[in-house]
Chains A and B, each alone.
Chain A
Amino acid sequence: EAQVTQNPRYLITVTGKKLTVTCSQNMNHEYMSWYRQDPGLGLRQIYYSMNVEVTDKGDVPEGYKVSRKEKRNFPLILESPSPNQTSLYFCASSLLFLGGSNSPLHFGNGTRLTVT
């Protein structure tokens, strides 16, 4: 089954303790992206990747890192989490990103992160 898999689904951690949220897709998609969803703000892009070893900042990259060493994986790294990073995080992938023409974004089921 074609899917985007995120882990974990739920994570509670403390300020400053490094964590990684994993994302994997089995569709051979070139484009991958991370969004965070906050009440009243909708979804905002954190980072994206056009292909292996090609990543770039989105709208809210501060406090996050990503890597794209393999096509299928795009982990999100919080080196020193803070309470303002408490949010619902979504990974998404697309075959290509050509201005959203015929390559819809496929989303994972989300990771709910709480930083205390």
Chain B
Amino acid sequence: GNSVTQMEGPVTLSEEAFLTINCTYTATGYPSLFWYVQYPGEGLQLLLKATKADDKGSNKGFEATYRKETTSFHLEKGSVQVSDSAVYFCALNSGGSNYKLTFGKGTLLTVNP
């Protein structure tokens, strides 16, 4: 079955540091890949997505590239801010009759001023 593995947290960074959160996946076919973000007390919001190999998703300074050869979709940001503190979830959907997102366990990011 499908699965998503993302790096264990928590991750603590200083403001303006470089961020990488690793995500690898196992899936049949050619899945679509997503990063969702959950701010404290809120539901998840779509951060970015990529639907085919070598696509780069980007939003709010975050980027992730769909690497089929390494089955990875690592999240990066060049300079984090305190407001980026949240839980980040990598997710996939393998399409066809698969009507759900398969999520990783989430990575808590704390950015200190």
Contacts and interface: CB of A to CB of B under 8 A. Distances in A.
B61 interface: no
Given A42-B105, A100-B32, A109 B43 contact: yes
B46 A104 contact: yes
Interface residues of B, number: 26
B42 A109 contact: yes
Contact of A42 (B41, B99, B106): B106
A45 B105 contact: no
A100 B101 contact: yes
A50 B36 CA distance: 22
A100 B95 contact: yes
A105 interface: yes
Given A4-B43, A42-B105, A101 B100 contact: no
B95 A99 contact: yes
Given A50-B99, A56-B99, A100 B93 contact: yes
A91 to B, nearest CB: 8
B8 to A, nearest CB: 9
Interface of A: 4, 31, 33, 40-45, 48, 50, 56, 58-59, 90, 92, 97-101, 104-105, 107-110
